[in-house]
Amino acid sequence: MSGWDPAATALLQLLPQTGRGPRREGIFALWLTLRVAQDLVRDPPAERAHRRRLQALEHRLSSLTLPPPLRRALAAAISQLRDARPETAVQVLSQLVAPARESGGADAGDAVAHAARAARAVLRAGAAVVH
């Protein structure tokens, strides 16, 4: 599980600094989604496990009060993550940068951007090993 990498840690550190409400819940939702996407890139789970994890993520996000742009972006992310390919997970992380920055602030956007860059690097490193 990728819960302690720098990007995830940066999002977790923002939680106590953020007052209760949609912005804080948005940062938490980003953290949950980031973990699923990163794990798909770093250590892809079995298809059934991935489907169950996405269902759990979707269920958890449904109970959160999120800013509308982030809610739409996360719905699209979950839909794309159903593809269960590492390349898709990298794309999802990249597409979450702008909504993260808009809804959670510059630090949240930077953390997601860092996660996207790190995932892209992992994917390239894996491709270099295969070729």
Residue-wise pLDDT tens digits, 31-89: 999 999 998 988 888 899 999 999 999 999 999 999 999 999 999 999 999 988 889 99
Give SS3 for 17: coil
pTM of the full structure: 0.87
Question: Is the pLDDT at 102 greater than 70, yes or no?
Answer: yes
> What is the rounded CA–CA span in Å between residue 115 and residue 117?
5
> What is the rounded CA–CA span in Å between residue 36 and residue 45?
10
- For residue 18, give both structure tokens: 């953020």
